[in-house]
Amino acid sequence: RHVKMQTACRKDIDRFNSQFLTVFESLIPADEERVKQKQLLTVLEKLVAKEWPDARLYLYGSCANSFGFSKSDLDVCLAIELGNNEKSEVVLKLADILQSDNLQNVQALTRARVPVVKLMDPVTGISCDICVNNMLAVVNTKLLYDYARIDVRLRQLAFIVKHWAKSRGVNETYQGTLSSYAYVLMCIHFLQQRRPAILPCLQAMNITYFRNVDNVECAYFDQVEKLGNFGSRNGESIAHLVWAFFHYWAYCHDYATDVVSVRTGSTLSKRTKDWTRRVGNDRHLICIEDPFEVSHDLGRVVDKYSIRVLREEFERAAEIMQYDPNPCVTLFHPY
């Protein structure tokens, strides 16, 4: 019955394809933004090199993983030999250095979970967060970037899902909903599950990229240009995939037993990960395994209240994709 419904729905929903593509295109940053980001990075690199000649700056997050909207912030990681210094000392020193240049609103947040320096560059208007030695984020940024190069539908789907999540207020980790990073992983998982698959499982293929980061082995096949048109045997349109994505998270995912795992290209059982009960504040009500830090559940921020909010939002979106005469508008209606 499910298959029948999917096929019946398919021709119908394809009418909305160009509208969804228009939404996607309206969110893509313009080239001049990239230029400005590079400009700011160069300024920062010069300032950092004066104090720490061996340190390096890396971009991570949405400014580098190809899932960034226009006008998003710059996430930067300072990679530095710490010696006897604490991260917070480096953060304070860095804030000092940046302050003396003409950057604005320089703030050192030393007591945050991840110590960062926040700043605004008046020349480019870009806001920026700089953290110290967060190399796992740099590596998972590259993984997302490489997945996005395989099939354009990942980027289209993830933009639409992120836009939906931001519009509906379910992209707020401090309120118990999910990070953008988690949503992109959900999209990758979903496209790995399509038949025929639209994305492969890069971590299950031969290794062409390897980094040991904080004793975590990060390894996968990164020569994705050699995959050709991997997803082309699957002709599903973006509108259909948006419909199927919300249908999957509303009605098909087993929240009680399953863990989404991009690393294995499949789902795992909560039991094998020992994610069956609440430990401290980690409740595991929706389980999304980090591809590299495998003990890390990106759903751990979700609590018994916010899981209901999330699932109701997935159901609302699924209903809209099924029945609404104007899904491209209703889906993104502010909550």
* Chain contacts with ligand 3AT (rule: CB under 6 A): 60-62, 65, 67-69, 72, 75, 137, 140-141, 179-181, 290, 296, 298
Please state, in angstroms and rounded to a whole number, the distance separating the CA atoms of residues 297 and 332.
27
**37-56 residues labelled b (16+ CB within 10 A) or e (exposed):** beebbebbeebbeeebeebe
If we measure between CA atoms, which residue out of 145, 156, 172 comes closest to residue 27?
156
Q: Which does 298 bind (CB under 5 to 8 A by kind): ligand 3AT, Mg ion, none?
A: ligand 3AT
**Does 61 contact Mg ion by CB under 5 A?**
yes
CB of 188 to ligand 3AT, least distance (A): 13
Please state, in angstroms and rounded to a whole number, the distance separating the CA atoms of residues 93 and 47.
12
CB of 268 to ligand 3AT, least distance (A): 18
Q: With respect to ligand 3AT, which residue has the nearer C-beta, 20 or 60?
A: 60
CB of 57 to ligand 3AT, least distance (A): 15
Q: Which residues, numbered 62-101, are part of the site for Mg ion (CB under 5 A)? A: 62
| DSSP secondary structure code for residue 275 in this structure | -
CB of 127 to ligand 3AT, least distance (A): 11
Q: With respect to ligand 3AT, which residue has the nearer C-beta, 62 or 192?
A: 62
Q: With respect to ligand 3AT, which residue has the nearer C-beta, 110 or 179?
A: 179
Give residue for tokens 């290209």.
Answer: 265
Q: With respect to ligand 3AT, which residue has the nearer C-beta, 68 or 176?
A: 68
Residue 259 bridge partners (DSSP):
268, 287
Q: Which does 65 bind (CB under 5 to 8 A by kind): Mg ion, ligand 3AT, none?
A: ligand 3AT
Q: With respect to ligand 3AT, which residue has the nearer C-beta, 185 or 241?
A: 185
Q: Which does 222 bind (CB under 5 to 8 A by kind): Mg ion, ligand 3AT, none?
A: none
**Strand, helix or coil for residue 83:** coil
The identity of residue 323, as a single letter, is: Y
Q: Token digits for 200?
A: 């492969």
Q: With respect to Mg ion, which residue has the nearer C-beta, 61 or 231?
A: 61
Q: With respect to ligand 3AT, which residue has the nearer C-beta, 65 or 237?
A: 65
Q: Which does 66 bind (CB under 5 to 8 A by kind): ligand 3AT, Mg ion, none?
A: none
CB contact set of 63 (below 8 Å; sequence gap of 6+): 37, 72, 73, 74, 75
CA-derived radius of gyration, the chain = 21
CB of 235 to ligand 3AT, least distance (A): 29
| DSSP secondary structure code for residue 281 in this structure | T
Burial of 174 (0-12, 13-18, 19+ CB in 10 A): exposed
Please state, in angstroms and rounded to a whole number, the distance separating the CA atoms of residues 289 and 275.
11
CB of 234 to ligand 3AT, least distance (A): 26
Q: Which does 164 bind (CB under 5 to 8 A by kind): ligand 3AT, Mg ion, none?
A: none
First to last CA, the chain: 33
Give residue for tokens 């909903």.
Answer: 177
For Mg ion, the nearest residue by Cβ is: 61
Burial of 120 (0-12, 13-18, 19+ CB in 10 A): middle
CB of 139 to ligand 3AT, least distance (A): 8
Given the rule CB under 5 A, which residues bind Mg ion?
Answer: 61-62
